[in-house]
Structures are given as structure tokens and as C-alpha cells.
């Protein structure tokens, strides 16, 4: 049984410029202890998907139009705030993109670190503090006993993200959602943070959803990858299969955009054009205007992701109909 099963999630934003359809008909599952990557460019709806699950979507302007998100038998999208607060921070934890702004500058690191324990468990401050110290040590913060009394601005970016991770893991959650956890960090620190997350995942045996715009990071971390574009799932497959048997032109284009995989000295590959306007969605495949393989049928009608191989979904009409090889 999956730990979390998201079914047909659709989210819109009501703005002055009109209704922006940020997430459309997104479905995925994650089993306990597994790792799922969600990849897509800015505005593809990957973060909005996860914020919706956590009840962190500002509503209004955000609006969850349809869908379910069943976590351990409970639909996260249709429970009371009180029930949701019993789950978030205890069974599902989250790490955010920017550790500079995600920690409260007015509170000591230690107080923020132990807050999930104080909220969710009957525990004294002293033993919560002890747990926090152990965990800080484990996430690689030297001199934890001293640092626990400091404020976030006295930490570097990488150290803050370590604190964020420790804070998310302190209740030993079943699921960790990491929203671009390394994007705001230096490249050298990025690798350390990913390594730390990998280590903690192995130790605690939790499931992880890793959101990233970086296909490289996701492929190194996750068992399974979902590629999103314009609020929709384009392709979904086991990581190796996604790379070696790519079944969607957009995924292929993303792969070609990874500079490290290209020959040195060649001009970097870019996908021509820009992402579609979320206020005026196209009737057909959202990638069709930028797609090398597009035919007239692509622009006419939207294709839902279908299984094109065992446990491998593709939303490409031509892959589905003609078994197009990309």
C-alpha cells in the first residue's frame, strides 16, 4: 500500500490577471521508505503540488479544485486544520528552498529545532534539547551545545540548511518533502547536503519527495522520477528507465540541457521558446509549440499520461499512439 497517493490533483490561482491553472490532474504514489523526485522548470507546478499536500497553499488566491491526497488512509486535502496539524511536522516534514529566510530570525536555533517535539509529543524541554543536540551532531554541526543557543543569522547558509533538516527529522517523520533543498546553496555545499539527506534517509527509513529543477540531482537521489511541465505530469518512471528509455520529448530535451553530459566546447543546448502562459492554456499538449516531434494532432487535443511500459507513464500522444522512439 502506498504511503501517499495523490490522485488527480488540480490547483488554480485566482489573480487579477485571471485564473492561472498551476497544477492539472497530477497523480503519483510513493511507497514507504522510497524516494520520489519531481522535476520541472520554474512554474511547472512542482512546489505548488507539495504545498497543497501540506496545507501551505495560501488560499485565496490559491484554490484546490479537485483531487485527493491520501496519506496513510487520510485525505490531506479534506481534513480539518486541526487534524492536518497533527500530521504535518510529525509524520510529514518539509525542508524549504531558502534556509536564509525559512528560519525565524527572532528565535534561537534551539527553540526552533525542538518546536516540533514540543508541539507533537509529551516531552520535557530538557529531553527535547538533548534530542536536538544529538541530531545537530548527526547532521554535522560542530560544537552543537554552543550553537544551539545561537540565532540563525550567526549560521552560514549550509549550516542553516543542516538545521532545517535536523528540525524536519527530529520527530522521525514517515515522509520528508524537500523543496529544492540545495538550490540556494553553494555548489560544494549542495553535495554535502544531498549526502546528508541520503544518510538520514537510510538511517530513519523514511520516504522522501525531492523537488528540483535539476535532473542531475534528482537522478542521483531518487528511485522514481516524475517530470512536470506546465502543471502536468509529462513522464513518470523509475530513474534508470527514465534516462535510458526516455518516452517523452520534454524529458529528452531536459536531459540534453544538462551541461555535464555534453561534449566540452559545444554550445549549450537550450529548448527553444518559453513555457506556455498559465492564464491561457493551450487545447493540446503544452509542450507541442516547443517540441521537435510535434504533429498537428499534438496541438489539437491534450493527452493524459498513460502507461507505455510497465510502471512507466508518458503523456506524449505520439509515444502512446505510434510508439515513437525519442
Partner 1 sequence: MLRFIARRLLETIPVLFIIATVTFFMMRLAPGGPFDTEKQVSKEVRAHMEAHYGLNKPLFQQYLIQMGHLLRGDLGPSFKYPSRTVNEIIADAFPVSLELGFEALAVALVFGLLAGTIASFKQNSPWDHVPMSLAMIGLCVPTFVMGPLLISGFALHLDWFNAAGWFSPRDRVLPALTLGAYYAAYIARLTRGGLLEILRQDFIRTAQAKGAGGARVLFKHALRGGLLPVVSFLGPAIAGLLTGSFVVETIFGIPGLGRYFVTAAFNRDYFMVMGSVLFYALFVILLNLLADIVQVWLNPRLRFE
**Which residues would be at the binding site for partner 1 (CB under 8 A)?**
54-56, 81-82, 84-90, 93-94, 96, 98, 101-108, 115-116, 119-120, 151, 153, 164, 167
State CA 46 to chain mean position distance. 6
CB of 176: closest distance to partner 1 in angstroms?
A: 11
CA atoms within 13 A on the CB side of 282: 20
CB of 161: closest distance to partner 1 in angstroms?
A: 12
Nearer to partner 1, 73 or 105 (CB): 105
CB of 42: closest distance to partner 1 in angstroms?
A: 17
Nearer to partner 1, 154 or 277 (CB): 154
Nearer to partner 1, 27 or 183 (CB): 183
Nearer to partner 1, 65 or 98 (CB): 98
Nearer to partner 1, 132 or 288 (CB): 132
CB of 3: closest distance to partner 1 in angstroms?
A: 18
Q: Where are the alpha helices (DSSP H) in the chain?
A: 46-53, 81-87, 99-102, 109-120, 125-138, 144-147, 157-169, 187-204, 215-221, 239-244, 249-256, 296-300, 317-322
CA distance 169 to 178: 11
CB of 97: closest distance to partner 1 in angstroms?
A: 9
| Sheet with 4-15: strands ordered across | 18-30, 4-15, 62-71, 74-75
68, 78 in Cβ contact below 8 A? yes
143, 137 in Cβ contact below 8 A? no
Amino acid at each position: 500500500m502506498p504511503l501517499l497517493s495523490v490522485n488527480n490533483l488540480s490547483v488554480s490561482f485566482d489573480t487579477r490577471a485571471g485564473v492561472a491553472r498551476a497544477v492539472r490532474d497530477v497523480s503519483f504514489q510513493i511507497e514507504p521508505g522510497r524516494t520520489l523526485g519531481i522535476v520541472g522548470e520554474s512554474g511547472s507546478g512542482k512546489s505548488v503540488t507539495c504545498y497543497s499536500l501540506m496545507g501551505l497553499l495560501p488560499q485565496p488566491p490559491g484554490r484546490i479544485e479537485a483531487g485527493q491526497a491520501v496519506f496513510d488512509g487520510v485525505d490531506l486535502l479534506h481534513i480539518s486544520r486541526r487534524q492536518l496539524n497533527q500530521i504535518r511536522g510529525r509524520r510529514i516534514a518539509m525542508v524549504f528552498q531558502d534556509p536564509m529566510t525559512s528560519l525565524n530570525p527572532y528565535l534561537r536555533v534551539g527553540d526552533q529545532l525542538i518546536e516540533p517535539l514540543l508541539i507533537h509529543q509529551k516531552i520535557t524541554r530538557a529531553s527535547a534539547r538533548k534530542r536536538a543536540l544529538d541530531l545537530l551532531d548527526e547532521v554535522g554541526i560542530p560544537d552543537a551545545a554552543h550553537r544551539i543557543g545561537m540565532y540563525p543569522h550567526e549560521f552560514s547558509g549550509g549550516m542553516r540548511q543542516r538545521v532545517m533538516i535536523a528540525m524536519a527529522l527530529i520527530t522521525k517523520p514517515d515522509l520528508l518533502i524537500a523543496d529544492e533543498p540545495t538550490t540556494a546553496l553553494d555548489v560544494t555545499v549542495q553535495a554535502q547536503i544531498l549526502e546528508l539527506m541520503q544518510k538520514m534517509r537510510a538511517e530513519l527509513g523514511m520516504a522522501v519527495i525531492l523537488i528540483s529543477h535539476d535532473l542531475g540531482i534528482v537522478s542521483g537521489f531518487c528511485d522514481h522520477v516524475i517530470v512536470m511541465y506546465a502543471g502536468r505530469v509529462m513522464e513518470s518512471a523509475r530513474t534508470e528507465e527514465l534516462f535510458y528509455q526516455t518516452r517523452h520529448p520534454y524529458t529528452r530535451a531536459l536531459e540534453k540541457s544538462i551541461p555535464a553530459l555534453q561534449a566540452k566546447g559545444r554550445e549549450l543546448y537550450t529548448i527553444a521558446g518559453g513555457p506556455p502562459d498559465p492564464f491561457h492554456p493551450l487545447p493540446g499538449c503544452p509542450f507541442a509549440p516547443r517540441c521537435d516531434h510535434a504533429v498537428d494532432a499534438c496541438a489539437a487535443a491534450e493527452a493524459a499520461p498513460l502507461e507505455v511500459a510497465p510502471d512507466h507513464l508518458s503523456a506524449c500522444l505520439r509515444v502512446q499512439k505510434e510508439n515513437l522512439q525519442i
